[in-house]
A and B are shown apart, each in its own frame.
Chain A
Amino acid sequence: MKLLLVDDSATMRRIQRTQLNSLGIQDILEAGDGLDGYHVLSENMPVDLVLLDWNMPVMDGLTLLRKLRADARFASVKIIMCTSESEKSRVIDALKAGASNYLVKPFSPEALKEKLGL
């Protein structure tokens, strides 16, 4: 599985990378904001899955999600929104925009494993 982490926090990316490694996932790309994520994804397709933070500078996660879902090149990419905000309205917005799933920070390795369908 090839996976892209998009999060403005290097700490969070490191934590997620460690958790993913423990689940046997080694092919991991990283980006620090939505725009960076768009470029990294464009240059590295095929990518199977994106773990996407919501609140980021330059381009937020919801904007990137909508941009990816409007582009046929990324139709096969599974996108999991990964954010600290868990209100129902936020989850609905993300799912309506085409998110495959929603993961609330802080999360355990078990929760990540479940959302990845492993």
Chain B
Amino acid sequence: MDVAYINPFIVSTVHTFKTMLSEDVTVGKPAVKALPFPTYDVSGIIGLSGDAQGSITMSFPKLTALKVVSKMMGMSIKVIGPELTDGIGEIANIVAGNAKQHLSNCNLSISLPNVVVGRSHVISAPSGSASIVVPFQSSLGDFAVEVTLKTK
């Protein structure tokens, strides 16, 4: 996968965390995902369609997810429930939507968010897709952004 497809999602993640959470995040080294690759505990997934097909997944350890959504909402979220999954889905939606503007040559459409909860769940990708995982660090905890795309 061309790095040009990854950078918009990195830039968008950094911008979203800074604007919504006043959090400076550190970007780790992107790596090609070897399947099957377990994610963290809570994953917000946005489907991508158009000239390229795939998804962007933002995956968080449970504690990080709780801290992120608590800070975003300005209230303490202590358990995995509707507030948490809605918040993680919205972050994924905003990151994907913002990244789209830098991928305008792809004519991409984004789906509504889905959120998967479960320890070390695996999200598979269609054959022929390439997946790249970008690790992030923040004061709220580590998380990862996974971009899976199959270009025409």
Contact = CB atoms under 8 A, between A and B. Distances in A.
Interface of A: 8-12, 14-15, 18, 55-57, 83-89, 104-108
Contacts of A84: 93-98
Given A9-B89, A10-B82, A11-B90, A85 B100 contact: yes
Interface of B: 15-16, 19-20, 69, 72-75, 82-83, 86-87, 89-90, 93-98, 100-101, 104, 110, 112
Contacts, number: 64
Contacts of B73: 11, 14-15
> For chain A, what secondary structure do more than half of its interface residues adopt (helix, strand, loop), or is it mixed?
loop
17 contacts: A9-B87, A9-B89, A10-B86, A11-B87, A15-B72, A15-B73, A57-B112, A84-B93, A84-B96, A84-B98, A85-B97, A85-B100, A85-B110, A86-B97, A89-B104, A105-B97, A106-B16
Contacts of A88: 104
A12 B90 contact: yes
B98 A11 contact: no
A54 to B, nearest CB: 9
A92 to B, nearest CB: 13
B74 A11 contact: no
Closest 10 CB pairs of A and B: A84-B97, A106-B19, A11-B87, A9-B90, A106-B20, A84-B94, A85-B97, A86-B101, A11-B86, A105-B94
Given A10-B82, A11-B90, A55-B93, A87 B72 contact: no
B67 to A, nearest CB: 14
Contact of B83 (A11, A85, A87, A89): A11
